[in-house]
Amino acid sequence: MKPFTVWFTGIPGSGKTTLSRLLTSHLCGNGISCAVLDGQDIRQLTGNLLGFSASARKVHAVYCAVAASVLNDAGVCVSASFVSPTRDSREEARRIVGDDRFFEISLICNPDLAKARAPNPAWVGIHVAYEESKQVDLQVDTTLDGPEQSLKLVLAMLHERRAI
């Protein structure tokens, strides 16, 4: 098996962190080395050094993609959860990690439900517009599908693509 990165993206509160952790638990439980890279965790660890401007968000995504690539090179799968609101930041992440080992999972969620779930609901869809991807490997509507059903969809895609 070739190590890969699953990049969960979507508005805050869409379920990125929940699905990322579920996927990691599943993979590790099946003997596959996997690490979580979570945008909020990384920002807390770095003391929010980069801020939230458009350029700072892009730099943050690039740094995280580099970390994912290094982990993949070391034989570790990565389950990443980032808002990464701009299409170009996700395309750059795919380029850095490598198209052959990068899976973008776009999480769609009703904005009202996302606001209720989000740790920082005040900025959901207000300060940053979320650009839909042109190249997505899977789209999951977390308004309709709960965490376990969403995980099944992700695992089915990874099986179909022969990643696992």
Which of 84, 89, 106, 150 is labelled catalytic?
84
55 annotated active-site: no
Quote the Cα angle for 131-135-136, to 5°: 85
Catalytic residue numbers, as ranges? 84
